[in-house]
Amino acid sequence: MATTTSTPTPSATSGRMAAVNEMTRLLRLLFEVEREFLRTVTTLVYRVGEPELKYLICQHAWESAGHARFIRERGRELSGFGTGEEVRASIRRVFVEAVGHAQSNPLVITAGFYTVLKPALLAAYRHYLKVTDHLADWPSKKLVEEFIADEERHLREITPYLQGVDAREWNLHLTQALDDLGGWLGQETRLPLAAGYVWQQQVKPYAHPATCNRGKYPVCSSVFGFDPTEDPIVRPWLTDPQTDARVIRLMVYVWLMMEMDAIDYLATVFIDTPAAPFDLHHDLARHLWDESRHSQFGFRQLPKLGVDLMTVEHSLDLYNILIQMPAHERYALMTMEFEAGSFPTKAHVMDRVRELSDFEADTLLAFDRNDEQNHVRYGHRWLPEMMALFGEARPTEEFVKATQAKFKDFAARFGGLTPHSLPKEKRLTGEKIRRIAGAN
């Protein structure tokens, strides 16, 4: 007797996999929320002024990049997650709104991210645990449990910075936008927007501020110079074999702290590259977190060595110049010029500091160098793709040389415009560093 074998219909197949498909749908939404949080929360970095808050946001951005990466890896093990990485318009619109196009207080904007959007993400993760099977979906469950712990910690860590911030009106505005989705997973009752709701992003497109915020700290154009009575980092002293190693250690800690420049201008790249592959943003987030740690090296070590941080002016030139240039040019200069060009001087500095038998300083400088080498590798990997996003068709080497020339022109036009906040009698200078170090 002849037998026939029927081919399963799509409806039958999807019916058999319904439980997996539903959990995959939720994971896909969580992935999109985490990656869009990363792309937009980074706009806070250069707008908030407190260094510790900048550092914290960089850390949270990196951890969110990790969440998205692990969700993507788990999602690709399941049916229906998809190979694309785009974020649906309904989610993107809420995060773009949270950037705060018409808001002037960066702490109010920060409150929107951390008292509306983040708690909603935490609720979404908790919902996932509630509706999935603890054994069948064990790999996802363990990831989500870890991410819940991270999200709870993020909310605790940000709370001290939002004390006394009145963000009720702005938070209500964002809550209404989120309620229109029914929560990030659509798990809540949807409350459609009122007819009179106005999206700020449609009224005023987002633009980066012309300068970055350094809060209560004094500022200047640059901390590098040639006059020890004016500048804290005296360029010839860094490589002069006659310079006391203790002086070099202090100057390099000032240099490291000023990698806050890199934090501020690198953070601008995320929002400017909405079509970038996720892996590019993932590596940018790692780069950002690395620079944040490097800045913390100086921020935490200088007071231990007798430096009052309120006497250390923060240099603004790099941000002020680079913000005049498109994102792919900013990134090219950072990786192919500033970082790649720093290795010879930093190698000499590392050798001199080793004379002091300061294990902590040696460790910090070694990790700084290791990280910077990775950043240059990132540049070689991602600059061509970033160039393509901006329609740049020149060979990479030719583009980099042209961008270096452009930077020199822009530095003459937009650099050197920030006056010293402090008179030289009060600010840290090379001569004062010598005295603090106990050098002759």
Instruction: Output 15 or 173, whichever has higher pLDDT.
Output: 173
pLDDT value for 288: 97
Is residue 405 included in any domain, yes or no?
yes
| Total of domains in the chain | 2
pLDDT value for 99: 96
Instruction: Give me the helix-helix angle, 359-389 and 278-304, nearest 10°.
Output: 150
Q: List the end-to-end C-alpha distance of the chain, in Å, as a whole number.
A: 104
pTM beyond 0.85: yes
Query: Same structural domain for residues 178 and 286?
Result: no
Q: Which one, of 168, 172, 43, 154, lies nearest residue 106 by Cα?
A: 43
**Number of other residues whose CB lies within 10 A of the CB of residue 230:** 15
Specify the amino acid at residue 329.
E
The residues pairing with 97 across neighbouring beta strands, listed in sequence order, are none
Structure tokens of 308?
């009052």
Per residue in 314-342, pLDDT tens? 999 999 999 999 999 999 999 999 888 88
The residues pairing with 220 across neighbouring beta strands, listed in sequence order, are 315
Please tell me whether residue 233 adopts helix, strand or coil conformation: strand
Separation of alpha carbons 296 and 315, rounded Å:
16
Per residue in 113-167, pLDDT tens? 999 999 999 999 999 999 998 998 999 999 999 999 999 999 999 999 999 999 9
Print burial letters for 420-432: b (CB count within 10 Å at least 16), e (below 16). Answer: eeeeeeebbbbbb
Residue showing tokens 């920060």: 110
Q: Which one, of 221, 226, 223, 264, lies nearest residue 414 by Cα?
A: 221
Query: Same structural domain for residues 126 and 266?
Result: no
> CB within 8 A of 336, min separation 6: which ones?
376, 379, 383, 400
Is residue 3 included in any domain, yes or no?
no
- CA 200 vs. chain centroid, Å, equals 23
Query: Same structural domain for residues 278 and 328?
Result: yes
pLDDT value for 2: 45
Separation of alpha carbons 144 and 121, rounded Å:
11
Query: Same structural domain for residues 165 and 264?
Result: no
| Residue 128 and residue 148 in contact, taking contact as beta carbons nearer than 8 Å | no
Of 142, 171, 203, the position where a domain reaches its end is 203
Of 157, 176, 203, the position where a domain reaches its end is 203
Is residue 375 included in any domain, yes or no?
yes
Q: What is the mean pLDDT of the chain?
A: 94
| Residue 66 and residue 229 in contact, taking contact as beta carbons nearer than 8 Å | no
CATH number at residue 162: 1.20.1260.10
Per residue in 106-120, pLDDT tens? 999 999 999 999 999
Query: Same structural domain for residues 253 and 143?
Result: no
Query: Same structural domain for residues 190 and 234?
Result: no
The percent of residues in the chain predicted with pLDDT above 70, rounded, is: 96
Residue showing tokens 């002293």: 237
Separation of alpha carbons 96 and 266, rounded Å:
19
Separation of alpha carbons 32 and 30, rounded Å:
5
Q: Apex CA 268: angle with CA 267 and CA 274, to 5°?
A: 105
CA-CA-CA-CA dihedral for 79, 85, 88, 91, to nearest 10: 100
Separation of alpha carbons 30 and 120, rounded Å:
11
Per residue in 339-379, pLDDT tens? 888 888 899 999 999 999 999 999 999 999 999 999 999 99
Please, what sign has the CA dihedral across residues 93, 94, 95, 98? Answer: positive
| Residue 45 and residue 264 in contact, taking contact as beta carbons nearer than 8 Å | yes
Domain enclosing residue 107, as ranges: 19-203
Per residue in 213-225, pLDDT tens? 999 999 999 999 9
Query: Same structural domain for residues 122 and 270?
Result: no
Rg (CA), the chain: 25
Of 177, 203, 229, the position where a domain reaches its end is 203
pLDDT of 11 over the 70 cut: no
Is residue 94 included in any domain, yes or no?
yes
Query: Same structural domain for residues 193 and 226?
Result: no
Q: Which one, of 130, 151, 3, lies nearest residue 64 by Cα?
A: 151
Query: Same structural domain for residues 238 and 125?
Result: no
Separation of alpha carbons 288 and 266, rounded Å:
7
